[in-house]
């Protein structure tokens, strides 16, 4: 579970986040929409414990990310816009390496199982990542979080640059993870993908959460109209 209370972060005079309140429950997918510089990445980096807030609190499963960053990081799976893995290693070797760093030792078949669960074709497991598409790398990235048994997934622009098929596969995978009980926060520009995947949506503008709604309550077109209205005002 993610809980953000009155989170404020400023860089000099610029306000990145202002009194942000957000709660994402277990099994829920929350979509954070916003333009560049709206504060989406700052929110994610604060959740990751890489940025200390000026005020407010951030908790993962009721553990404070500022005071116990090492603890909360164990619970988090992070998938950036570009999952840059080690290109000279195969997908399987990358997964093995990242798991070992987390102190997890899996057999080869277990690792292959994780990759397959996350949608990477078996024939790609042993191929070097340098030959992978962006979507394939993203699947390995999710497999790393999955193998870690992450309870919270933070995704920063995950669908950016993906072809429609890969994007759809990602949606299916995220829904599957949520169904298994994961808490997912996804920052994105992609209104239609967010509307399609997420249970709830928040619109962030200049560090302020200007609107929060259930995705079932709006169509994709209505969401786009609403988003544009907030952005233009």
Partner 1 sequence: MFQIIKNEWRFLLRSRIFLGISIGFIAILIVSVFLGNYQTQKQDQTQTNAKEHVRQQWVSIDEMNPHSAAHYGTYVFKPANLLSSLDEGVNSVTGNVLRVEGHVQNEIVHSEASQMQVVSRFGKLKSSLLLQYIVPLLLIFLAFNSVSSEKQSGRLKLLILQGAKPIQLILSKTFSVWLYGLLLLLFVIVVYGILNLQSLTSEILFRTGLFFLSYALYYFIISGLTVFFSARWQNATLALTSMLGIWILWTIFLPNVLMSSVEKWHQLPSRNEFQTAMDEDRSKGLDGHNPTDERTKALEEKVLKEYKVDSLSQLPINFDGLLMQADEDYGNKVWDKHFGNNRNVLQEQKQSFQLGGIVNPFISLQNTSMGFMASDNVHHQEFLLQVENYRRVFIKMLNDEHAFGGSKTGNWGKNADNAFFRSVPDFDYKPTQLSVVFSNYMLDLALLAFWSVLVFALILFGTKKIEIL
Would you say the C-alpha torsion 101, 105, 106, 108 has a positive or negative sign? positive
| CB of residue 220 to partner 1, shortest distance in Å | 30
Exactly one of 98, 132, 146, 153 binds partner 1 (CB under 8 A); which one? 98
Rule CB under 8 A: say whether 191 interacts with partner 1: no
| CB of residue 200 to partner 1, shortest distance in Å | 25
Exactly one of 9, 148, 193, 205 binds partner 1 (CB under 8 A); which one? 148
Rule CB under 8 A: say whether 76 interacts with partner 1: yes
C-beta of 45 vs 168, nearer to partner 1 = 45
Distance CA 3, CA 23 (A): 5
156 touches 41 (CB < 8 A): yes
Exactly one of 25, 26, 52, 101 binds partner 1 (CB under 8 A); which one? 101
Distance CA 43, CA 155 (A): 11
Query: Which residue from 153, 2, 25, 177 is spatially nearest to 83, judged by alpha carbons?
Result: 153
Contact region with partner 1 (CB under 8 A), list: 22-30, 82-90, 167-175, 189-197: 82-90
For residue 71, give Cα distances in angstroms to 66, 68, 128, 185: 10, 5, 32, 19
Rule CB under 8 A: say whether 11 interacts with partner 1: no
Helix (H, G, I), strand (E, B) or coil at 172: helix
Rule CB under 8 A: say whether 177 interacts with partner 1: no
Would you say the C-alpha torsion 63, 65, 67, 69 has a positive or negative sign? positive
Binding site residues, partner 1, CB under 8 A: 45, 48, 50-51, 70, 73-74, 76, 78, 80, 82-86, 88-89, 93, 97-103, 141, 144, 148
């Amino acid at each position: 579970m993610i809980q953000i209370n009155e989170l404020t972060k400023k860089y000099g005079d610029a306000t990145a986040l202002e009194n942000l309140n957000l709660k994402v429950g277990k099994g829920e997918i929350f979509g954070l929409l916003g333009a560049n510089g709206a504060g989406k990445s700052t929110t994610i980096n604060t959740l990751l414990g890489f940025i200390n807030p000026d005020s407010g609190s951030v908790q993962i499963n009721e553990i404070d990310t500022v005071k116990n960053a090492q603890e909360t990081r164990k619970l988090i799976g992070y998938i950036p816009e570009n999952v840059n893995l080690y290109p000279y290693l195969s997908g399987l070797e990358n997964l093995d390496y990242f798991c070992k760093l987390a102190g997890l030792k899996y057999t080869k078949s277990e690792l292959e199982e994780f990759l397959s669960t996350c949608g990477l074709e078996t024939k790609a497991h042993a191929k070097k990542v340098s030959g992978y598409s962006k979507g394939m790398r993203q699947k390995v990235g999710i497999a790393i979080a999955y193998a870690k048994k992450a309870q919270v997934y933070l995704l920063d622009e995950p669908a950016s640059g993906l072809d429609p098929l890969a994007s759809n596969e990602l949606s299916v995978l995220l829904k599957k993870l949520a169904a298994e009980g994961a808490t997912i926060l996804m920052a994105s520009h992609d209104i239609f993908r967010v509307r399609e995947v997420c249970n709830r949506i928040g619109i962030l503008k200049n560090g302020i959460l200007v609107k929060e709604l259930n995705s079932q309550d709006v169509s994709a077109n209505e969401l786009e109209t609403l988003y544009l209205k907030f952005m233009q005002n």
